[in-house]
Amino acid sequence: MNLDIRPLTPDRLNDYLHFFDNVAFADHPEWSQCYCLAFNFEPAWDAEDAGRENPWRERAIQFVREGKMQGYLAYSDGNVVGWCNANDKTNYVALEHNVKHEIQVDNENKIVKSVVCLLRREINEGLIREKNESKSLDEPR
């Protein structure tokens, strides 16, 4: 199996959305609305998002178009089979609250990349397994 790793760019937005809408969480649909934004979460979103149908998807579109969402898509046979969220540490608001203060201060003038999420779709002999063949992450393999 050959993987082609490509950076997320606005012209790959539809591939990114398709991955999250249909592939990444086929076995756990309750997780499907994250769009890998958890580390970007700001408390103000709760009030802003009230009453909106899929606000994190809308926000993900905006973040990709503005370059705030950075990472890599993995392709196999032209299909997205994986995602890695890799960005400047300062773009992850949640890390401000979860990293020791001295680490933040010691590195505040440096560009530090962080990987906060890595998702892959099961691959079998180069083919994406159909949803009914995949196992839940909770099931033994």
Please report whether residue 30 resides in a domain: yes
Least confident of 88-92, 95-99, 121-125: 121-125
Q: Which domain holds residue 91?
A: 4-133
Please report whether residue 19 resides in a domain: yes
What is residue 76's three-state secondary structure? strand
At residue 127, does pLDDT exceed 50? no
Please report whether residue 139 resides in a domain: no
What is the biggest distance separating any 2 CA atoms in the chain, rounded to whole angstroms? 49
Cα atoms in the Cβ-side hemisphere of radius 13 Å centred on 11 = 2
Q: What are phi and psi of 74, to 5 degrees?
A: -105, 130
Helix ranges, the chain (H): 13-18, 44-49, 55-66, 93-98, 101-106
At 130, the pLDDT band (50, 70, 90 cuts) reads: very low
